[in-house]
Amino acid sequence: MTWFSANILFKASTSGRSDDDALWEERIAIVGGDSFGEAKDKAECFAKAEEMQYVTIGGEALRWEFVRVGKLVEIRGDAFEQGLEIFSRYLKGSEVASMDMPFDA
């Protein structure tokens, strides 16, 4: 079996809020498979099982929906060990700046 890091995107939907104001979650999960396709199928199955809906403390109905598996990257190495890299990407300055911006409450 080969191990992969799966970049999974979720979107929070509420009534009365536009897609421009939606909250997104980027989740990196480890999945295994005998092929790229099998690992992607497992990532999608895992992500769909993580969808949920609940009422926020403000009384608003919130639904987290699986959007897509963005990237699937093979994890190279013989075994999981301290410091094993599971995900890496290059960022533009504007992307780094957006990571430091707080979420509006």
30-56 confidence digits (pLDDT tens): 999 999 999 999 999 999 999 999 998
Does 9 have pLDDT greater than 80?
Answer: yes
CB 74 within 8 A of CB 3: yes
List, in order, residues 6 or more apart from 95 with CB less than 8 Å away: none
Does 72 have pLDDT greater than 90?
Answer: yes
pLDDT at 47 (0 to 100):
96
pLDDT at 13 (0 to 100):
87
Of 52, 54, 56, 73, give the one whose Cα is nearest residue 7: 73
Instruction: Enter the pTM of the model.
Output: 0.79
Q: How far apart are CA 41 and CA 28, in angstroms?
A: 15
The residue type of 92 is K
pLDDT at 104 (0 to 100):
65
List, in order, residues 6 or more apart from 76 with CB less than 8 Å away: none
Q: How far apart are CA 88 and CA 4, in angstroms?
A: 12
Q: Mean pLDDT, to the nearest integer, of 65-93?
A: 84
Does 77 have pLDDT greater than 80?
Answer: no
